[in-house]
Structure 1
Amino acid sequence: MKSLHDMPDRPVPARAALDRLFELAEVLGGIMQRGMAEKGLTTARAGVLWALFHGGPVTQRALAARLGVTPRNVTGLLDALQEDGLVVRGVHPTDRRATLVSLTHEGRSVTSALRGGRDELAAVLFADVPADQLDTFVATLGLVTERLRAVGADSPE
């Protein structure tokens, strides 16, 4: 895939759409940061809680792989979350060498509250958008997201 810098001049509507995406990312990112900060979370810690909320208990190694971080990094995140009472580490039922990570009751409550905030925001943003327009919007965002991932995968690190 070509890098963004190698693309010929795009038509004005495409540039305007990208400008809107940048604006959306900034506004949405700010809202998300405030919501997480209100719960005492960083983006990385919220990502751990979200992964456990959706995937259930998992080994530390599998959690690190799911999040795309090193096992050492996930250990630091889990230390902080465990200290805050949001996760618990326990013995794996079938592999005594592995540590199983789970959400605590408080961790489930915090994550449910984050999901509730997301659902409320979705209701406010899209309440009066006709279903066919929302379907088109979701499909277009999916296509754009796939293309951004492809561009990002081709970028040197």
Structure 2
Amino acid sequence: MENDLADLFLRAAKRIRRHQVERLAPLGLTPAQSRALRVIVGTDGPLRMTDLARRLDIVPRSATTLVDALEADGLVTREPDPANRRSLLVRPTGKGRDVRATITGTRREAAREVLSPLSDEQRETLRDLLTVIDGAAAGDAGRPRRLSGS
């Protein structure tokens, strides 16, 4: 049963992701760029590149590549950190905030479509169960997990 459950869970997650990727394509963003933009916009104030890499759980070089692409599209800006000249701060532009809002709607729409066969009560139960799983994973990793504003 657990193998079936894992397979079903993974298939549903892949369907949600596929729907998101299809809807994000017109924005010209990869899923990784979308995720980075969500983190940058969801942070109060500017974010150090090293902190972005840590929050995304990627190496700093990969964060630089993501920010390069976001900056080229006018979604973020970089500036020297006045407290540490060796560090760079990243902050969203107005366009970046607008695109993040579009991403949020796109993600919700994709999830809504995949979860549409469930009743409101079933969706709430699923949310509760996934919250328990997510909380247990946070305990395993020794760090709190928080859901972004999606």
Q: Distance in 1 between matches of 2:43 and 2:3?
A: 37
How far 1:130 moved relative to its partner? 3.6
Answer yes or no: is 1:70 the counterpart of 2:42.
no
Q: Could you tell me which of 119, 124, 138 is aligned with 1:129? A: 119
Answer yes or no: is 1:41 the counterpart of 2:29.
yes
Q: Distance in 2 between matches of 1:30 and 1:39?
A: 15
Q: Distance in 2 between matches of 1:30 and 1:147?
A: 26
How far 1:89 moved relative to its partner? 0.5
Alignment-derived partner of residue 3 in structure 1? none
**What RMSD, in angstroms, separates the aligned Cα atoms of the two structures?**
2.8
- Quick one: which amino acid aligns to residue 17 of structure 1? L
- Quick one: which amino acid aligns to residue 135 of structure 1? E
1:18-38 deviations in Å (ceiling 9; x for gaps): 232122022112111112222
Cα distance change of structure 1 residues 33 and 123 upon mapping to structure 2, 3 Å threshold: closer
How far 1:74 moved relative to its partner? 1.1
Q: Distance in 2 between matches of 1:27 and 1:150?
A: 28
What aligned pairs does 1:46-57 form with structure 2 within 5 A after superposition?
46-56=34-44, 57=46
How far 1:65 moved relative to its partner? 1.3
**Contiguous gaps of at least 5 residues in structure 2:** 141-150
**Identity over the aligned pairs, expressed in percent?**
30
Alignment-derived partner of residue 139 in structure 1? 128
Cα distance change of structure 1 residues 64 and 147 upon mapping to structure 2, 3 Å threshold: same
Q: What is the count of residue pairs matched by the alignment? A: 139
Q: Could you tell me which of 16, 21, 24 is aligned with 2:12? A: 24
- Quick one: which amino acid aligns to residue 22 of structure 1? L
How far 1:49 moved relative to its partner? 0.1
Contact 2:76 2:91 in 1 (8 A): yes
Q: Distance in 1 between matches of 2:58 and 2:20?
A: 21
Cα distance change of structure 1 residues 149 and 37 upon mapping to structure 2, 3 Å threshold: farther
1:40-77 deviations in Å (ceiling 9; x for gaps): 01111111101112124201111111111121111111
- The alignment's TM-score, normalised by the length of structure 2, stands at 0.75
| 1:69 partner SS | coil
Q: Distance in 2 between matches of 1:28 and 1:123?
A: 9
Alignment-derived partner of residue 100 in structure 1? 89
Larger Rg belongs to? 1
| 2:58 partner SS | coil
**Contiguous gaps of at least 5 residues in structure 1:** 1-11, 152-157
